[in-house]
Amino acid sequence: MTDQLARLDATAQAALVRDGDVSPLELVDAAIARIESTNDRVNAVIHSMFDKARAAATADDLPDGPFRGVPFLLKDLWPASAGDPYHLGNKALKEAEYVHPVDSNLTTAYRRAGFVICGRTNTPELGLVATTEPQAHGPSRNPWNTDHGTGGSSGGSAAAVAAGMVPAANASDGGGSIRIPAAMCGLVGLKPSRGRLSMGPMQDEWGLSTQHVVCHTVRDCAGILDATAESFPGDGVIAPRPGTPWSGQVGAPVEPLRIGLLPRSPRGETHPECERASRDTASLLESLGHHVEEAHPDALDRADELAGHFLPLWVAGAANSLRVLGRMIGRELGPDDVEPSTWMMAEQGRSFSAPDIIAAQASMHTMRRELAAWWADGFDILLSPTTAMPPPVIGELASTAEDPAQALLGSMPYATFTSTFNASGQPAISLPTTRTTDGLPIGVQLVGDYAREDLLLRLAAQIEVEVRWADERAPLHP
């Protein structure tokens, strides 16, 4: 029964509870059994909360939401859960045994939806790089091949879902951190529009990062968005909602679309198999009646310029995060409290002046408007590889004292197609359409106009019918 449940997505598991075929506790116990039997091979779950999960699953006040009783995991980054460990991949917080006092707004939304939180998942320190290999908790390993990484920064969540521990898990994305692990682990990963999901009370919606989930199916991606995209008092950006639920887009007819194809990164080398994945998807879309042409926004050709503006915001964010962590544990953090790459980024962030940061923000606003014009001029979707390279070998991107820049520089090929749309705030989804000749997953990315998750989900569901990626699971999946 445990293995049978593992093959079901969150939507199907919730239906079993509604129909009385299984209880929430049975779902949770099955997930706990899978975590206990698999986690030592992938290191996805770093904080187990099994007693709390069992208590929640049997409580009279378990919310009767659309995902009532479905086991779920939170990434150990910004979505806090009250009374639970909260380390952000950082050894100083781990050594201090820091416990967060309140739920984040999104955690509140997950609970209202009926999800039962069973634990928290591994993440690189502060989510700053595209590999999940923190010194505080060790590397997460890819369930398709444990010699390879899971991507970052939602690599623990992606490993857990790909290994069949839970059907879906929380993920966040500040430069590609939902889409990159989804691509590397053979999952669906949507980065919603800026302001689609509340980032409070610890974060703000106007930044680079947003949150959602990694999962196996488009219908889970859409249904969980329906259940959690709510605004809270004080939210700084609230994206406009469509007139119909996002779950209603799954299986809906798709009108012929005008799709631009960007098969190679303007910023550098693209692996031939990643390029092939995007071209194969373009051919599939043409066979489905869409018009596909090699075209992309002109702003993307200024890759080095865009990266130069993105970097100050990224490293200044790292410097500020260390200040926040210091307040959390009651002392200033030093170089021995963080990884070499984190300290290097924070030091670089401190070197930028306030006018430098304001100028970088202004350049991002200009770029956002330039990108929006491409969609306004008649294109519906931009298609690209999700990453420029397949999943790396464990250790290849890890931070070291000898080469503290390795993690950041090594992450760039993995974020080259993704990070621009964190700056623009547009929705983008990674779909697991193919694998390398070595059997490792590769994703393709679809990018839509701002607030057009409806179109992305409709097209993604059309592709899913043809590719049927959820039929085949990772070797470690039951």
- Annotate 116-140 with DSSP letters as a single string: EEEEEE---GGG-SSS---TTT---
β-bridge mates for residue 169, sequence order: 73, 214
- Annotate 409-442 with DSSP letters as a single string: HHHHHHHTTTTHHHHHT--EEEEEEEE-TTS-EE
Q: How many residues does the chain have?
A: 478
CA distance to 89, 125, 141, 389, per residue, from 133 (Å): 9, 8, 9, 18
The three-point CA angle 131-447-206 to 5° equals: 70
Question: CA 180, CA 131: separation in Å to the nearest integer?
Answer: 9
- C-beta of residue 210 within 8 angstroms of C-beta of residue 239: no
Cα pseudo-dihedral 430, 435, 439, 441, rounded to 10 = 0
Give CA 82 to chain center in angstroms.
Answer: 22
Question: CA 443, CA 431: separation in Å to the nearest integer?
Answer: 5
Backbone φ, ψ for residue 116 (5° rounding)? -110, 115
Return the DSSP state at 20: T
Question: CA 10, CA 15: separation in Å to the nearest integer?
Answer: 9
Return the DSSP state at 204: -
153 an active-site residue? yes
Backbone φ, ψ for residue 85 (5° rounding)? -55, 150
Map residue 142 onto helix, strand or coil: strand
Question: CA 143, CA 156: separation in Å to the nearest integer?
Answer: 11
Catalytic choice (177, 209, 419, 424)? 177
Catalytic choice (140, 153, 172, 384)? 153
372 burial type by CB count under 10 A (0-12 exposed, 13-18 middle, 19+ buried): middle
CA distance to 14, 22, 34, 35, 108, per residue, from 29 (Å): 15, 11, 9, 10, 22
75 an active-site residue? yes
Catalytic positions, please? 75, 153, 177
